[in-house]
Amino acid sequence: MSYDTEHYYAVQTFLEDDELHEIWNIVEKAMNRQGYDVSNSELSLRLYDQELEENIEHDMDDFLSSLSEGKDIDNDYGSKVDALVDSMGVTDNEVSTSHSRKDLDLL
């Protein structure tokens, strides 16, 4: 099997943060066990597939933009939250007048 001619999935682009951290922890422990310090390294995972015609990488820009789709529609979740906050009379200008600072070293 020659990896130069085969295409791959960039696996790390498909993983959620918690999944990526779990894999990273396993890899780091194994490398440390062999005496390698990989704390400044970046994890890259490739899954080679001889039937792929091109490299496949999950496009994070598409993912992130899909999270914000519909934010300008009046009946979406974000608009409902904004309306709820507005109805509570919360403003950016409110400041607590009862706040006082205490030096914890003096306690």
Whether 8 contacts 52, CB under 8 Å = yes
Least confident of 3-17, 27-41, 59-73: 59-73
The pTM of this model reads: 0.48
76-100 residue pLDDT tens: 666 777 777 777 766 655 555 565 6
Whether 9 contacts 50, CB under 8 Å = no
- Length reported for the chain: 107
Distance between CA atoms of residues 18 and 8, nearest Å: 23
Amino acid residing at 36:
Y
32-48 residue pLDDT tens: 999 999 999 988 899 99
